[in-house]
Amino acid sequence: MTAPRSTIWKLEDHTLAKHIILRKYLGAWLPILIRKGTSGLLVDGFAGPGEYIGGEIGSPLIMLNAYQGHRAHSIRQGRVKFFFVERDPHRSAHLRLKIQAHLQSQPLPPTATYEIHTGTFVDAMRDLLRNLACGREHYDAMFVFIDPFGYSHAPMDIICQLMRYPRCEVLITFMYEEIDRFLKRNCQAQSVHYDQLFGTSEWRTIALDCQDARTRQQQLHNLYRQQLLSVAGARYVRSFCMLNKRNKTDYFLFFATRHRLGMKNMKRAMWEVDPTGNFVFSDCTGLAQSFLLQNDSPPILAQMLYERFRGKLVALDDIEEYVIADTPFFKYKSSLKLLEQEGLIEVYGPEGRKKGTYADLAMTILFR
């Protein structure tokens, strides 16, 4: 997609999917992390003008609505700050008017504030990181949405510094189509940007050696994922692949966190996006790589679990860790039930446990 020049533009279908994921994830994130005595920061680092040509709302208003419309009253007892960053002054001014109009009919409670910053994501994050380091600002939890048009404004170095904060989670649009287009055409001219985007120069080997489009996509995806894991220190990283109208990858939506529950909730949100549309849950790491997720797939996960743990005695906690970290799934109990029905596992549960139930993470399971 070419970046629009006008202040507002038409909402694309794949932006809608991104918005559904954002809304659903925040619905789960807010009550877990914001309650009496805690504080949270929600950053929209590439906020946009706040609305689209058809009147649909943009990500900053989706964030505000997720908070204001949430049924859990406890979230309004904690302190919340919304921080919207937009470089283009026209879009930033448009966003300000939209938010002011919105808040006139639905004011924020005294525990919530917002700031619109006209400037670049990098500068805004450097200021934020400085304030966090010297204690001028403090948050118990941070969620950072990084949604640029291109690939040259969200360096890995900033993501690494943000992820150092223990409760910081990031949702990143990785503009694959553009990255690949310029990589094939003119990667030398863009090399500084690519180095910053990936936080390494390893992309050069892929650009030079890899002529096959599918393999190149997988390798670039995996390099970015690996950087989030090893350099940024995320423990869980997953991506969601958005296809364009020609059935080619437009972008990946990467989510990175240190927390199992955060990843579980993000997977739930990703799964709930209409699976009959052109949205592919991307999993470049395993057996389930190439199917469109249509439903929860207990038999597929059962097979994966059996292959992974065959001959081993494992705690349920380790099984959950594997499912969340290394598979596209987040529900696993129906798969265990299938294995138990087929006599492929033996469960050592708490006294009085009912067959087919797996409630205690400390219980152990023998995969025969």
- Interface residues with ligand SAM (CB under 6 A) are 15, 46-48, 58-59, 85-88, 91, 120-121, 147-149, 153
Three-state secondary structure call for residue 78: coil
Instruction: Choose between 178 and 340: whose C-beta lies nearer to ligand SAM.
Output: 178
CA neighbor of 81 nearest in space, from 46, 36, 114: 114
Instruction: Choose between 11 and 366: whose C-beta lies nearer to ligand SAM.
Output: 11
Instruction: Choose between 123 and 360: whose C-beta lies nearer to ligand SAM.
Output: 123
Measured from the Cβ of residue 36, the count of other Cβ atoms closer than 10 Å reads 11
Helix (H) or strand (E) holding 325: helix 316-326
Least spacing, CB of residue 161 vs ligand SAM, in Å: 16
Could you tell me the CA-to-CA distances from 104 to 81, 97, 98 in Å, in that order? 18, 11, 10
Least spacing, CB of residue 251 vs ligand SAM, in Å: 10
In this structure, what token pair is assigned to residue 224?
A: 């970015």
Handedness of CA 282, 285, 291, 293 (dihedral sign): negative
Least spacing, CB of residue 182 vs ligand SAM, in Å: 16
Instruction: Choose between 114 and 149: whose C-beta lies nearer to ligand SAM.
Output: 149
Least spacing, CB of residue 353 vs ligand SAM, in Å: 46
Angle at 276 between CA 272 and CA 228, to 5 degrees: 55
Instruction: Choose between 40 and 155: whose C-beta lies nearer to ligand SAM.
Output: 155
Cβ–Cβ under 8 Å, residues 250 and 1: yes
**Measured at CB, which residue is nearest to ligand SAM?**
58
Least spacing, CB of residue 344 vs ligand SAM, in Å: 45
Please tell me the distance from the alpha carbon of residue 28 to that of residue 16, in angstroms, as a whole number. 19
Please tell me the distance from the alpha carbon of residue 233 to that of residue 313, in angstroms, as a whole number. 29
Instruction: Choose between 199 and 298: whose C-beta lies nearer to ligand SAM.
Output: 199
Least spacing, CB of residue 52 vs ligand SAM, in Å: 7
Which residue type, as a one-letter code, is found at position 197? L
